Amino acid sequence: MPKLKAVQLSPEVNRALAENKAVVALESAIIAHGMPFPRNVETALALEDTVRENGAVPATIALLQGRLKAGLSPQEIAYLGKKGPAVHKVSKRDLPVLAAGGEDGATTVAATMIIAFMAGIEFFCTGGIGGVHRGGAQSMDFSADLEQLAQTPVLVVCSGAKSILDLGLTLEYLETKGVPVLGYQTRELPAFYTRKSGFKLEYCLHRPEEIAAVWAEKKAMALPGGVVVANPIPPESALDPDYMEQGIARALQKAAQLGLQGKEVTPFLLAQMGEITKGKSLEANIKLVLNNAKLAAQIAVASQTLT
């Protein structure tokens, strides 16, 4: 077996893992590609604070000068936030190339899961996972997040898949790959900015302790892949589903006219939704990811009592 590339841990994360404390991974794509500066930096720091307030240690993950890092300093978070889209958006395929070149990279869900697993971190908070793009049945445009969820044993707390995607096909893909999708206090897959999607979930759990128990059983069975915890955006922050769907349709049409493809599409669509909603989608994004950080920390802490 080849020796795995070491992940550089911050002192705080290194100490927490050594002492078997609860740790929650956070992605960095949201810093460089998900929000404008300085809201991106403010949100990243607020996410870390939320994880700490709920009893766990945050580990923001990124690629800096070719090094895999779990746990960034405030200065490193600010560096990514200021550079913004000039930083590479890193998925699984990009990791070895950018590491070999000594480059910086902001990690997507897939890349964050990989580095978290390498570091020994089991829990991960994000806004929304990637999935099957609309028209994916013809284009075969599937996010690498889906396959990584099928392979990597990390529990991911999210507000469902991004609403710009084909949510039905995304759910079907995860079912086919054997990835449990657990609704947190909901039987309907949330659609990122909204609590409703029209797609029912098989499982609804009501307490972090119940989710921690499912995770413990999955590990005990040595089943491959992760678990998705679908946590709806708080009701007071949710946007109107019909209004959002109309905006997404317009944004998708514009993306097609510009000939955007692959990983160019999602940041463009999110920016377009920000313009269409006059900033309301950005505020909703911040509220939902903070809510997810709280739940992820609670699950991680609850899991400590089961080990």
Q: Which residues are identified as catalytic?
A: 27, 162
* HSE toward the beta carbon, residue 222, CA cutoff 13 A: 0
Tokens for 290? 């903070």
Across 76-212, the runs of DSSP E, i.e. the strands, are 88-90, 105-107, 123-125, 155-158, 181-184, 203-205
Residue 269 amino acid letter:
L
Cβ-Cβ contacts under 8 Å for 239 (sequence gap 6 or more): 193, 194, 277, 280, 281, 284
Rounded to 5 degrees, what are φ and ψ at 287?
-65, -45
What is d(CA 225, CA 210) in angstroms, rounded to the nearest whole number?
Answer: 19
Strands 88-90 and 67-70: unpaired
Are 152 and 117 in contact by the 8 Å Cβ rule? The answer is yes
Comparing C-alpha atoms, which of 122, 91, 92 is closest to residue 225? 122
Comparing C-alpha atoms, which of 145, 129, 116 is closest to residue 58? 116
